[in-house]
């Protein structure tokens, strides 16, 4: 198929259709409105389900109901709206239902701003909602990568019976790039959904979709079961990329839009004779801790670069286990850094070291 030039948000919507979406429930919020707008036209035209809900809270609960009824469901929002969804997401994870959630991050906290941000890393990977649960979180850096991940997400969610969060920022959502929607993606065998509520006339026994286990013995066992699943996900779904890691002096850790800015910085530094490599997490949960074991000898320091005040920084420190000095570079509030700022941060690495 020919490549097309498309806006990120629209591409996410098209990719969802290619990925086999049955139903979308969402609410308008800047900067992701092209997603529900595109799906409102194309889902209804395909005889599928689209509802603009009355709030992000209502939308995630519609997702919960539809997922429990066996559909391949999706919602999308941005940072403050994802905050509203946390209750529903915890219930969906606790009830072990599949769904795809797209977050197009904007500045925070609170109403914040509408410009790009990466300040929802904690929200995405450290719960957000109550209890011990995890989302499978992907952070693509290009629209193409977003499309490929979106296409696989519905299968991944179904396979593990777990929500998948595709985390982009307003820049990826709003920019345009040439993309190919027909790149093949990994196909998974999805077992028949024997847990869904389609009516007792349609399956053996009685199905109950539920996250309530009042007996502590039962609830603990349920949590152990969830943890076994998360271990399986860690074993199978960790995704990352290593860039320029033959003989680096410094290693940058960055994801999404920030990693693209850092690629430019790495090129500039190379021209100046400073070799800098990069670990680019593609799955934020499970976090690619093992990548840090692959850092070669002779690296002077690791620079964590994010559009936040230092959220992925925690995982960088945990993964490095104190082997290297760690520096931090961050811009927030919607400020998107120039590659030169990263170049300077590497050159003045000592000033960036986290005490």
Partner 1 sequence: MEVKYQKTKGLTDKKLSYCPGCTHGIVHKLVGETLEELGMIGDAIGVASVGCSVFSYEFFNCDMQQAPHGRACAEATGIKRVLPNNIVFTYQGDGDLASIGIAETIHAANRGENITVIFINNAIYGMTGGQMAPTTLIGQKTTTSQDGRNRALTGGPIKISEIFSQIEGVAYLERVSVTNPKQLIKAKKAIKKAFTYQKEKRGFTLVEVLSTCPVNWGMTPVDALKWVETNMVPVFPLGVFKDAGEFDV
Q: Which residues bind partner 1 (CB under 8 A)?
A: 22-23, 25, 49, 51, 53-55, 57-59, 61-71, 73, 87-88, 91, 95, 197-202, 206-212
Q: Which is nearer to partner 1, 86 or 238 (CB)?
A: 86
Question: In sequence order, what are the residues at sequence separation of 6 or more whose Cβ sits closer than 8 angstroms to the Cβ of residue 194?
Answer: 203, 207
Which string of DSSP letters, residue by residue, matches 131-176?
A: SS---EEE--SSHHHHHHHHHHHHHHHHHHTSEEEEEEEHHHHH-E
Angle between helices 34-45 and 8-18 (to 10 degrees): 30
Q: Which is nearer to partner 1, 135 or 313 (CB)?
A: 135
Q: Which is nearer to partner 1, 81 or 88 (CB)?
A: 88
Q: Which is nearer to partner 1, 69 or 253 (CB)?
A: 69
Q: Which is nearer to partner 1, 123 or 207 (CB)?
A: 207
Please answer whether residues 277 and 248 qualify as being in contact, where contact means their C-beta atoms are separated by less than 8 angstroms.
yes
DSSP, collapsed to helix, strand or coil, labels residue 229 as: helix
Could you give the strand order of the β-sheet that contains 250-253, starting from the edge strand earlier in sequence?
A: 240-243, 276-281, 250-253, 301-306, 325-330
Q: Which is nearer to partner 1, 100 or 251 (CB)?
A: 100
Please answer whether residues 172 and 257 qualify as being in contact, where contact means their C-beta atoms are separated by less than 8 angstroms.
yes
Query: In this structure, what token pair is assigned to residue 43?
Result: 């889902």
Least Cβ distance, residue 170 to partner 1 (angstroms): 27
Q: Which of 113, 103, 13 is nearest to 60 (CA)?
A: 103
Least Cβ distance, residue 123 to partner 1 (angstroms): 18
Q: Residue 48 burial (CB < 10 Å; 0-12/13-18/19+)?
A: middle
DSSP, collapsed to helix, strand or coil, labels residue 4 as: strand
DSSP, collapsed to helix, strand or coil, labels residue 298 as: coil
Least Cβ distance, residue 253 to partner 1 (angstroms): 36
Q: Which is nearer to partner 1, 178 or 202 (CB)?
A: 202
Least Cβ distance, residue 189 to partner 1 (angstroms): 23
Least Cβ distance, residue 47 to partner 1 (angstroms): 11
Least Cβ distance, residue 35 to partner 1 (angstroms): 18
Q: Which is nearer to partner 1, 72 or 331 (CB)?
A: 72
Query: In this structure, what token pair is assigned to residue 249?
Result: 């002096």
Question: In sequence order, what are the residues at sequence separation of 6 or more whose Cβ sits closer than 8 angstroms to the Cβ of residue 316?
Answer: 253, 292, 302, 304, 326
Q: Which is nearer to partner 1, 91 or 287 (CB)?
A: 91
CB atoms under 10 Å from CB of 2, counted, come to 7
The Cα–Cα gap between 210 and 204 comes to: 18
Least Cβ distance, residue 201 to partner 1 (angstroms): 3
Which string of DSSP letters, residue by residue, matches 15-31?
A: HHHHTT--EEEE---TT
Least Cβ distance, residue 109 to partner 1 (angstroms): 24
Least Cβ distance, residue 66 to partner 1 (angstroms): 4
């Amino acid at each position: 198929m020919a490549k097309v030039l498309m806006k990120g948000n629209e591409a996410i919507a098209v990719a969802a259709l290619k990925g086999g979406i049955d139903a979308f429930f969402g609410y308008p919020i800047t900067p992701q409105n092209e997603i529900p707008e595109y799906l409102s036209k194309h889902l209804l035209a395909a005889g599928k389900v689209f509802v603009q809900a009355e709030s992000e809270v209502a939308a995630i609960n519609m997702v919960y109901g539809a997922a429990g009824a066996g559909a391949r469901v999706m919602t999308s929002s941005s940072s403050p709206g994802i905050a509203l969804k946390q209750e529903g997401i915890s219930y969906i994870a606790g009830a072990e239902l599949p769904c795809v959630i797209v977050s197009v991050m904007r500045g925070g906290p609170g109403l914040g701003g509408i410009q790009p941000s990466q300040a929802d890393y904690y929200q995405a990977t450290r719960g957000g909602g109550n209890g011990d649960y995890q989302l499978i979180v992907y952070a693509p850096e290009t629209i193409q990568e977003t499309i490929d991940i979106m296409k696989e997400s519905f299968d991944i969610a179904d396979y593990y019976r777990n929500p998948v969060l595709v985390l982009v920022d307003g820049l990826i959502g709003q920019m345009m790039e040439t993309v190919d929607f027909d790149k093949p993606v990994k196909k998974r065998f999805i077992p028949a959904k024997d847990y869904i509520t389609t009516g007792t006339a349609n399956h053996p026994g009685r199905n109950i979709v539920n996250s309530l286990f009042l007996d502590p013995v039962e609830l603990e066992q349920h949590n152990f079961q969830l943890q076994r699943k998360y271990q399986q996900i860690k074993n199978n779904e960790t995704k990352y990329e290593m860039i320029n890691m033959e003989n680096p002096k410094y290693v940058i850790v960055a994801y999404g839009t920030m990693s693209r800015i850092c690629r430019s910085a790495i090129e500039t530094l190379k021209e100046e004779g400073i070799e800098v490599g990069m670990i680019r997490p593609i799955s934020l949960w499970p976090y690619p801790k093992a990548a840090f074991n692959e850092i070669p000898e002779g690296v002077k320091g690791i620079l964590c670069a994010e559009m936040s005040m230092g959220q992925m920084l925690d995982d960088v420190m945990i993964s490095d286990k104190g082997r290297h000095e760690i520096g931090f570079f961050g811009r927030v509030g919607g400020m998107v850094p120039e590659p030169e700022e990263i170049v300077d941060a590497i050159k003045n690495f000592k000033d960036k070291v986290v005490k």
